Amino acid sequence: MINVALPKGRLGEKIYEIFAAAGYECPSIKENNRKLIFENAEKGVRYFWVKPSDVSIYVERGAADIGVCGKDILVEYAPDVYELLDLKKGVCRMAVAAKKDFYDNGERTLKVATKFVNAAKSFYAKKGRAIDVIKLNGSIEIAPILGLSDVIVDIVETGTTLKENNLEVVETVFPISARLIANKASFKFKTEEIERLAEGIRALTDGETV
């Protein structure tokens, strides 16, 4: 049995369809209820719907053998897991954004609002730019508008949220897409099963081994 942590939400549903097409379907998952665990014993697969930012925790600690999560989570929390495949779904980017008229003259500490504290710190550390990180949990775009921060480091997908708040991208921090990850011990003991599944998924997503 392979235990799979999937991110709850639209991306997760798309990912499930890929797993199903690869031969790991679990019809009960389509039932309209609030259950979070679904199993198809015949196919040897059990799915858990978890909060997207929690997938890597389940996988790192072995509660799930494998899972799918965004590269943003892997960069931010650096979980001790194997990254097996780039699924090329949920494509977006981590970016620095600011008000349209903002100009960083580099003279004072830059105030950066973000959910991704570690990603922001390491990005600016590499540049040698001193920053003051303000950790927020959502609606990050409001911070520069209210003067809470100079810039934000956040996920940009279509750019609509920035546009509607009169902000613009200053620079890209790193590209993001969904990744198939595996628990290290599970990979050792269920190598064949996990590799077979990963290969089936790779064939359908044209994913790259990472």
Nearer to ligand PRP, 65 or 150 (CB): 150
As a whole number of angstroms, the distance between CA 170 and CA 100 comes to 9
Pinpoint the alpha helices (H) of 20-93. Answer: 55-60, 71-77
Residue 110 in contact with residue 129, Cβ under 8 Å? Answer: yes
- Residue 174 CB, shortest distance to ligand PRP, in Å, is 15
- Residue 198 CB, shortest distance to ligand PRP, in Å, is 26
Nearer to ligand PRP, 32 or 160 (CB): 160
Nearer to ligand PRP, 140 or 197 (CB): 140
Task: Show contacts with ligand PRP in window 106-145 (CB under 6 A).
Answer: 138-140
Task: Show contacts with ligand PRP in window 150-179 (CB under 6 A).
Answer: 154-161
| 145: helix, strand or coil | helix
- Residues 56-83: b if buried by 16+ CB within 10 A, e if exposed: bbbbbeeebbbbbbbbbbbbbbebebbe
- Residue 164 CB, shortest distance to ligand PRP, in Å, is 8
Q: Which residues of this chain interact with ligand PRP, rule CB under 6 A?
A: 138-140, 154-161
